[in-house]
């Protein structure tokens, strides 16, 4: 397991199911994992961003800390946010996989649905003679369609 994955798992375990907020010291966390504090910053920026349902607050200095808050935004609000603000007109494979992981973690997509979404947006599925820009556009449209379908599944 990569160090970034270990740090992410550690923080998510601290958040747990009962707590939507955790406060950590960046230097202590870096020392615990034997990495540079910049590695902690990288994990926070890429795995605990608003698009993944988290807000982070950081205060530097001697008494500095990192506060991570899980934003409890579910159902139609979360889906509308993803379609309107997160996806846009273009979507990389990595961004798509992060959104899918977020949908799975929040329970908005079952593991089976998430696996199907991943497969539909995989490089193998999009192995067509298009430019990378066109594939990113196609990926965004497919993702929006799948998210809208998930949003409507409760109305059936």
pLDDT digits (tens, 9 = 90+) for 71-87: 655 555 566 666 666 67
Query: 3-70: what fold?
Result: Phenylalanyl-tRNA Synthetase; Chain B, domain 1 (3.30.56)
CA distance 153 to 115: 17
Q: Do 83 and 140 touch, CB atoms closer than 8 A? A: no
% of the chain at pLDDT higher than 70? 80
What was the pLDDT predicted at 156?
43
Question: Beta strands 21-24 and 65-70: pairing type?
Answer: antiparallel
Condensed to tens digits (0 to 9), the pLDDT of residues 33-65 reads 999 888 888 888 888 876 677 767 777 666 567
Which of 75, 117, 74, 124 shows the shortest CA–CA distance to 96? 117
Mean pLDDT for all residues in the chain = 81
Q: What is the pLDDT of residues 93-104, one digit of tens each?
A: 888 888 888 788
Q: Strand, coil or helix: what is 63?
A: coil
Rg of the chain over Cα atoms, rounded to whole angstroms, equals 17
Contact 68, 24 (CB under 8 A): yes
C-alpha count within 13 angstroms, C-beta hemisphere, residue 133: 0
Q: What pLDDT shows up at residue 47?
A: 85
Contacts with 114 (C-beta within 8 Å, 6 or more apart), sequence order = 100, 101, 103, 104
Q: pLDDT tens digits, residue range 106-142? A: 777 899 999 999 999 999 998 989 999 999 999 999 9
């Amino acid at each position: 397991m990569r160090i970034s994955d270990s740090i992410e798992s550690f923080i998510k375990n601290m958040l747990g199911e009962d707590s939507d907020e955790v406060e950590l010291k960046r230097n202590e966390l870096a020392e615990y994992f034997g990495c540079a504090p910049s590695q902690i910053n990288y994990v926070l920026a890429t795995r605990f961003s608003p698009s993944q349902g988290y807000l982070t607050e950081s205060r530097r200095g001697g008494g500095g800390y990192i506060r991570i808050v899980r934003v409890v935004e579910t159902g139609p609000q979360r889906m509308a946010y993803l379609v309107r603000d997160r996806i846009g007109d273009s979507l990389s494979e990595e961004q798509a996989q992060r959104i899918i992981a977020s949908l799975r973690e929040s329970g908005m997509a079952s593991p089976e649905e998430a696996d199907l979404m991943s497969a539909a947006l995989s490089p193998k599925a999009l192995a067509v003679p298009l430019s990378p820009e066109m594939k990113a556009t196609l990926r965004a449209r497919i993702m929006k369609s799948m998210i809208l379908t998930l949003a409507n599944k409760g109305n059936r």
